[in-house]
């Protein structure tokens, strides 16, 4: 097994995979307590339109992916706050439009040979040095932001109206959190693709909260869980020539149901 | 005594419908006010306008002498929403919830914890400090939320249907507790409630609201046929607590045949 660690693209895959896994597992807490699972599915799918536009225009797809994801996230967040249209409807409409645009852009791209499959389902083995620098820089920014404002953000998640009456600028934290989550989701696309990116941000805390009830333990166990899952995912996918994203998400899924089983067992005692 | 809250010529329209019309009243420092009225009468809209969640269509609100959005930034306003506004299974302890009240505090973390524990003790919930907040009963959550509000040492607190989910006996002790707060801490308390019979003996003023402010004054002047008819319509049956009643003995006051 140690032999594979000598291969440069495997090294990139491991470093990149771990950076994104830890970042998403920290953000996972907020997705779970805010019940933003479907919002995140919308954001990850909307990324496809931006990625395809990037390919069509010959610009780095990841930056247009981020633009699409952040715009969609903020728009969904705004609609959800205003409450004029049901949140689920707006998510369904926005991500369908963005995916439809993605298909149109890719079809219009002359001599397009890149693998559509890797956009949709990811390929961790295509992570480059540049991706790692981008991931490391964004992770550092996110951890600093959370370290400074964690209690205020948690208070906003607890009850936004109460937090507002305590003098907190709730809109700033609400939209900042959505923006950070949208960017992190795009960065996960290389790992697992647009279809499965949301699973990487939903499953860690969803699994950890079956065993632990306090946010500190949920965050720590989510991080440990994600590191293990990504390492095992990379090894298994390489060893058995399986798609890395699907393998990783499948392992998460198994662990979620295992945690659910442990919880039931505990309750039954 | 100075006015801590002033509502002047307030009209609020939501989606083209007039919810509140020409509301005028003021609350002095240290007073306790209950806003009562039928469902859909605009009680919660009034509270939300006072706190700055809703913009007035006409007129204005001055809270601590400031427009609501500026007043809340002073940290001197406390708000206790209805109990079920907190997400289910929210992953925080009882102590964490009280510490939310100190989110803007400049005190060192250790001092904040000491202060939070002191207030948990004050509301009789110290032994639950490490429990999951979401595992507590409605009444216990209410006490912890009160500690969260008080630990910030506000000048005025707003309570939205504070007795929702609490049984009759617990309601009485809850209102007794509010009265004690007012007397010991000099707090101004404004609450929205439908338990007019219960709160009447604990508050200084009652605001009877049904689109218009039909009554504003002392509770003893509130229970009059013409006022209650204006507020609730003629076919109402109100259950009022007698002076001697503490929790369970009550008598009926019927508008129709004036029997009481």
3-class secondary structure for chain A? CHHHHHCHHHHHHHHHHHHHHHHHHHHHHHHHHCCCHHHHHHHHHHHHHHHHHHHHHCCCHHHHHHHHHHHHHHHHHHHHHHCCCCHHHHHHHHHHHHHHHHHHHHHHCCCCCCCHHHHHHCCHHHCCHHHHHHHHHHHHHHHHHHHHHHHHHHHHHHCHHHHHHCCCCHHHHHHHHHHHHHHHHHHHHHHHHHHHHHHHHHHHHHHHHHHCCCHHHHHHHHHHHHHHHHHHHHHHHHHHCCCHHHHHHHHHHHHHHHHHHHHHHHHHC
Assess if residue B83 is contained within a domain. no
Between chains, do B90 and A33 touch, taking CB under 8 Å as contact? yes
Task: Transcribe B148-190 into DSSP letters.
Answer: HHHTT--SEEEEESTTTT--HHHHHHHHHHHHHHHHHH--EEE
Instruction: Note whether B47 and B137 are same-domain residues.
Output: no
Chain B closest-CA separation from residue A205 CA (Å): 11
Chain B closest-CA separation from residue A148 CA (Å): 12
Instruction: Note whether B51 and B114 are same-domain residues.
Output: no
Instruction: Note whether B188 and B234 are same-domain residues.
Output: yes
Assess if residue B141 is contained within a domain. yes
Between chains, do A151 and B99 touch, taking CB under 8 Å as contact? yes
Q: What pLDDT was estimated at residue A221?
A: 97
Q: What pLDDT was estimated at residue B167?
A: 66
Supply the ipTM of this predicted assembly.
0.88
Q: Which residues in chain B are closer than 8 Å to A209, comparing Cβ atoms?
A: 89, 91
Instruction: Note whether B66 and B195 are same-domain residues.
Output: yes
Tens-place pLDDT, residues A7-42: 888 888 899 999 999 999 999 999 999 988 888 889
Q: How many domains is chain B built from?
A: 2
Check if B100 contacts A (Cβ < 8 Å). Answer: yes
Percent residues over pLDDT 70 in chain A: 97
Q: What pLDDT was estimated at residue A127?
A: 85
Chain B closest-CA separation from residue A165 CA (Å): 5
Instruction: Note whether B125 and B161 are same-domain residues.
Output: no
Check if B72 contacts A (Cβ < 8 Å). Answer: yes
Which range of residues forms the domain containing residue B94? 88-152
Instruction: Note whether B111 and B188 are same-domain residues.
Output: no
Assess if residue B28 is contained within a domain. yes
Assess if residue B99 is contained within a domain. yes
Q: Report the CATH number that the domain containing residue B169 is assigned in CATH.
A: 3.40.50.300
Q: Quick count: other Cβ atoms within 10 Å of Cβ A187?
A: 25
Which range of residues forms the domain containing residue A59? 2-268
Search chain A and give the residue with CA nearest B90. Answer: A33
Between chains, do A152 and B79 touch, taking CB under 8 Å as contact? no
Six-digit token pair at B56? 């007035």
Check if B86 contacts A (Cβ < 8 Å). Answer: yes
Last residue of a domain, one of B152, B170, B190: B152
Confidence of residue A70 (pLDDT cuts 50, 70, 90): very high
Instruction: Note whether B122 and B168 are same-domain residues.
Output: no
Q: How many domains is chain A built from?
A: 1
Between chains, do B132 and A168 touch, taking CB under 8 Å as contact? no
A126 vs B152, which has greater pLDDT? B152
CA dihedral A144, A148, A149, A154 (to 10 degrees): 90
Chain A closest-CA separation from residue B94 CA (Å): 11
Q: Which residues in chain A are closer than 8 Å to B63, comparing Cβ atoms?
A: none
Mutant choice from A149, A166, A204 vs B, greatest count of B C-beta within 10 A: A166
Q: What pLDDT was estimated at residue B39?
A: 86
State how beta strands B212-217 and B250-254 pair.
unpaired
Determine contact, residues B209/B202, Cβ cutoff 8 Å.
no
Average pLDDT over residues A54-67: 89
Last residue of a domain, one of B110, B137, B152: B152
Of A35, A154, A167, nearest to B74 by CB-CB distance is A167
Confidence of residue A194 (pLDDT cuts 50, 70, 90): confident
Q: What pLDDT was estimated at residue B256?
A: 36
Instruction: Note whether B172 and B108 are same-domain residues.
Output: no
pTM of the model: 0.87
Mutant choice from A30, A37, A162 vs B, greatest count of B C-beta within 10 A: A162
Mean pLDDT by 10-residue block, N- to C-terminus, for chain B (260 residues)?
90 93 95 91 94 96 96 94 78 97 94 96 93 90 90 94 70 80 88 82 91 92 82 65 42 34
Instruction: Note whether B138 and B179 are same-domain residues.
Output: no
Q: What pLDDT was estimated at residue B94?
A: 97
Instruction: Note whether B11 and B126 are same-domain residues.
Output: no
Instruction: Note whether B94 and B219 are same-domain residues.
Output: no
Instruction: Note whether B242 and B136 are same-domain residues.
Output: no
Assess if residue B260 is contained within a domain. no
Search chain B and give the residue with CA nearest A212. Answer: B91
Check if B227 contacts A (Cβ < 8 Å). Answer: no
Search chain B and give the residue with CA nearest A209. Answer: B91
Between chains, do A158 and B77 touch, taking CB under 8 Å as contact? no
Average pLDDT over residues A216-224: 97
Between chains, do B99 and A167 touch, taking CB under 8 Å as contact? no
Last residue of a domain, one of B152, B170, B205: B152
Interface A–B counts its CB contacts (< 8 A) at: 76
Q: Report the CATH number that the domain containing residue A251 is assigned in CATH.
A: 1.10.3470.10
Taken in order B167, B171, B174, B176, the sign of the CA dihedral is negative
Of A165, A168, A215, nearest to B91 by CB-CB distance is A215
Per-residue pLDDT for A230 more than 50? yes
Between chains, do A162 and B79 touch, taking CB under 8 Å as contact? yes
Tens-place pLDDT, residues A76-125: 888 888 777 787 888 888 889 998 999 899 888 887 766 677 778 888 87
Closest CA to B232 of B254, B250, B251: B254
């Amino acid at each position: 097994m140690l032999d594979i660690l000598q291969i440069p693209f495997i090294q990139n895959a491991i470093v990149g995979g771990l950076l994104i896994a830890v970042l998403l597992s920290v953000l996972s807490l907020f997705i779970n307590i805010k019940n933003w699972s479907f919002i995140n599915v919308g954001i990850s799918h909307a990324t496809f339109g931006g990625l395809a536009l990037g390919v069509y225009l010959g610009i780095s797809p990841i930056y247009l992916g981020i633009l699409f994801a952040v715009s969609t996230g903020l728009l969904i967040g705004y609609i959800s706050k205003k409450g004029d249209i049901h949140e689920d409807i707006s998510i369904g409409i926005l991500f369908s439009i963005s995916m439809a645009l993605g298909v149109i852009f890719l079809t219009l791209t002359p001599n397009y040979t890149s693998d559509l499959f890797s956009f949709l389902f990811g390929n961790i083995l295509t992570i480059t040095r540049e991706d790692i620098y981008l991931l490391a820089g964004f992770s550092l920014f996110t951890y600093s932001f959370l370290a400074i404002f964690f209690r205020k953000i948690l208070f906003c998640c607890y009850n936004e109206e109460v937090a507002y009456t305590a003098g907190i600028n709730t809109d700033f934290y609400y939209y900042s959190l959505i923006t950070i989550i949208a960017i992190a989701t795009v960065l996960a696309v290389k790992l697992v693709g647009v279809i499965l990116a949301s699973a990487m941000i939903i499953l860690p805390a969803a699994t950890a909260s079956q065993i632990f009830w306090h946010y500190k333990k949920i965050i720590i166990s989510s991080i440990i869980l994600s590191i293990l899952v990504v390492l095992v995912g990379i090894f298994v996918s390489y060893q058995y020539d399986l798609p890395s994203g699907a393998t990783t998400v499948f392992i998460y899924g198994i662990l979620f149901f295992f945690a659910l089983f442990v919880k039931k067992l505990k309750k039954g005692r | 005594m100075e006015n801590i809250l002033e509502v002047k010529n307030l009209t609020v329209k939501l989606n083209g419908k007039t919810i509140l019309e020409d509301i005028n009243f003021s609350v002095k420092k240290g007073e306790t006010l209950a806003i009562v009225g039928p469902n859909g009468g605009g009680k919660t809209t009034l509270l939300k306008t006072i706190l700055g969640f809703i913009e007035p269509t006409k007129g204005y609100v001055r809270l601590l002498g400031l427009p609501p959005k500026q007043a809340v930034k002073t940290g001197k306003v406390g708000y206790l929403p209805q109990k079920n506004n907190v997400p289910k299974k929210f992953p925080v302890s009882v102590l964490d919830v009280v510490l939310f009240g100190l989110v803007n505090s400049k005190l060192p973390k250790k001092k904040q914890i000491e202060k939070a524990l002191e207030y948990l003790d004050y509301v009789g919930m110290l032994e639950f400090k490490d429990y999951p907040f979401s595992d507590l009963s409605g009444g216990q959550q209410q006490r912890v939320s009160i500690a969260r509000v008080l630990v910030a040492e506000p000048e005025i607190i707003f309570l939205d249907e504070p007795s929702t989910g609490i049984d009759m006996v617990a309601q009485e002790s809850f209102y007794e507790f509010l009265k004690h707060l007012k007397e010991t801490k000099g707090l101004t308390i404004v609450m929205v409630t439908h338990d007019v019979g219960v709160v009447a003996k604990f508050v200084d003023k009652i605001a009877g609201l049904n689109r218009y402010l039909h009554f504003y004054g002392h509770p003893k002047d509130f229970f009059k046929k013409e006022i209650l008819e204006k507020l609730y319509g003629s076919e109402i049956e109100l259950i009022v607590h007698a002076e001697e009643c503490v929790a369970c003995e009550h008598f009926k006051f019927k508008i129709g045949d004036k029997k009481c």
